[in-house]
Chains A and B, each alone.
Chain A
Amino acid sequence: MAAARCWRLVLRGSGLSLHTAAEAAVKAPEVTGPDVAAAPVARYPPVVASLTADSKAARQRRVERWQATVHAAKSVDEKLRILTKMQFMKYVVYPQTFALNADRWYQSFTKTVFLSGLPPPPPARPDTEPAPALDVVALRDAACDCLLQEHFFLRRKKRVPLYLEHEAITSPFLDQLVASLTGLLSARNPALANAALDCKRPVHFYWLRGEEIISHGHRKGRVDALRYQINDKPHNQIRISKQLPEFVPLDYSVPVEIPVMNCKPDKLPLFKRQYENTIFIGTKTADPHCYGHTQFHLLPDKLKRERLLKQNCADQIEVVFRANAIASLFAWTGAQAMYQGFWSEADVTRPFVSQGVITDGKYFSFFCYQLNTLALTAQADQNNPRKNICWGTQIHTWEGTLE
Chain B
Amino acid sequence: MALASRSARLALARLGRLGLGSCGAPRRGAYEWGVRSTRKPEPPPPDRVYEIPGLEPITYAGKMHFMPGLARPVFPPWDPDWTPPKFRRLPPLHEHPLYKDQACYVFHQRCRLLEGVKQALWLTKTKLIEGLPEKVLSLADDPRNHIENQDECVLNVIFHARLWHSTEDIPKRETYCPVIVDSLIQLCKSQILKHPSLARRICAQNNMLSTTWNRGFREGYPYPYPHTLYLLESANLRPHRFQPDQLRAKMILFAFGNALAQARLLYGNDTKVLEQPVVVQSVGTDGRVFQFLVLQLNTTDLASDEGVKNLVWIDSDQLLYEHFWCLPVVRRKAVVEPVGPTGFQPETFRKFLALYLHGAV
Chain A interface SS verdict (over half): mixed
CA distance in complex: A370, B143 (Å): 42
In the complex, whether B196 has a CB less than 8 A from a CB of chain A is yes
Q: B160: which of A145, A194, A196 is its contact (CB, 8 Å)?
A: A196
Min distance, Cβ B35 to any Cβ of chain A, angstroms: 66
In whole angstroms, how far apart are the Cα atoms of A182 and B203 in the complex?
Answer: 13
A155 touches B208 (CB 8 A): yes
State the Cβ distance, B108 to closest chain A Cβ, in Å: 10
Proximity string of chain A (295-314) to chain B, C-beta cutoff 8 Å, 1 when within and 0 when not:
00000000000000000000
Which A residues touch B33, using CB under 8 A?
none
B284 within 8 A of A: no
Contact status A202-B186, CB under 8 Å: no
Nearest Cβ on chain A to B270's Cβ, whole angstroms = 24
CB atoms of B159 and A186 under 8 A apart: no
Residue pairs across A and B with CB atoms within 8 Å: the count is 87
Pairwise interchain contact B165-A172, C-beta atoms closer than 8 A: no
In the complex the two chains form, what is the Cα distance from A176 to B206 in whole Å?
13
- Which parts of B51-78 form the interface with A (CB within 8 Å)? none
Q: B327 to nearest A CB, angstroms?
A: 13
Q: A146–B204 Cα gap in the complex (Å)? A: 9
In whole Å, how far is A103's beta carbon from the nearest beta carbon of chain B? 28
Give the interface segment out of A281-289, A372-380, A388-396. Answer: A281-289
Given the interface pairs A155-B208, A156-B208, A280-B167, the reply to whether A196 lies near B217 with Cβ below 8 Å is no
Partner of B203, one of A176, A283, A284: A176
A184 to B202, CA, bound (A): 11
Of all chain A residues, the one with the shortest Cβ separation from B204 is A154
Query: Within the complex, which residue of B166, B198, B204, B215 is in contact with A149, where a contact is CB–CB below 8 Å?
Result: B204
* Residues in A whose Cβ lies below 8 Å from that of B215: 155
Which one, A155, A193, A284, A288, contacts B163 given CB within 8 A? A284
Q: How far is the CB of A135 from chain B (nearest CB, A)?
A: 10
Provide the residues of chain B in CB contact with A194, threshold 8 Å: 153, 190
- Do A287 and B217 touch across chains, with their CB atoms under 8 A apart? no
Minimal beta-carbon separation of A169 from chain B (angstroms): 12
For the complex formed, measure the closest distance between the CB of B205 and the CB atoms of chain A, giving whole angstroms.
6
Contacts of B164 in A (CB 8 A): 283-284, 286-287
A287 B218 Cβ-Cβ under 8 A:
no
- Does B160 contact A155, Cβ atoms closer than 8 Å? no
Instruction: Give chain A residues whose Cβ lies under 8 Å from the Cβ of B202.
Output: 145-146, 149, 176, 180
Chain B contacts for A146, CB-based, 8 A: 202
Q: A145–B221 Cα gap in the complex (Å)?
A: 9
Q: Are A190 and B193 in contact (CB under 8 A)?
A: yes
CA of A153 to CA of B216, assembled, Å: 9
User: Which residue on B lies nearest to A155, using beta carbons?
Assistant: B208
Does A193 contact B218, Cβ atoms closer than 8 Å? no
Contact B156 A287 (CB under 8 A): yes
Given known A201-B166, A282-B165, A286-B159, contact A155–B216 (CB-CB < 8 A): yes
Q: Which of chain A's residues have a CB closer than 8 A to the CB of B207?
A: 154-156
Residues of A within 8 A of B217 (CB): 153-155
The answer for the CA separation of A278 and B215 in the assembled complex, in Å, is 48
Residue in contact with B186 in the complex, picked from A142, A184, A196, CB distance below 8 Å: A196
Known: A152-B218, A155-B215, A197-B182. A183 touches B199 (CB 8 A): yes
Assembled-state Cα–Cα distance A335/B204 (Å): 33
Minimal beta-carbon separation of A109 from chain B (angstroms): 23
Across the interface, name the chain A residue whose C-beta is closest to B222: A145
Chain A residue contacts of B210, Cβ below 8 A:
155
For residue B192, CB closer than 8 A to chain A, the reply is: yes
> Do residues A153 and B166 form an inter-chain contact, with CB atoms below 8 A?
no
Known: A153-B218, A198-B165, A280-B167. A183 touches B189 (CB 8 A): yes
Is B223 in the interface zone, CB < 8 Å from A? yes
Contact indicator per residue, chain A 177-203, by CB within 8 Å of chain B (1) or not (0): 001101110110010011011110110
Q: List 20 A-B contacts (CB under 8 A).
A: A149-B223, A152-B218, A153-B218, A155-B207, A155-B210, A157-B208, A172-B206, A179-B203, A183-B192, A183-B198, A186-B189, A186-B190, A186-B193, A194-B190, A197-B182, A197-B183, A201-B166, A280-B167, A283-B160, A283-B165
Closest 10 CB pairs of A and B: A193-B190, A283-B164, A284-B164, A153-B221, A153-B217, A287-B164, A157-B208, A153-B218, A155-B208, A154-B207
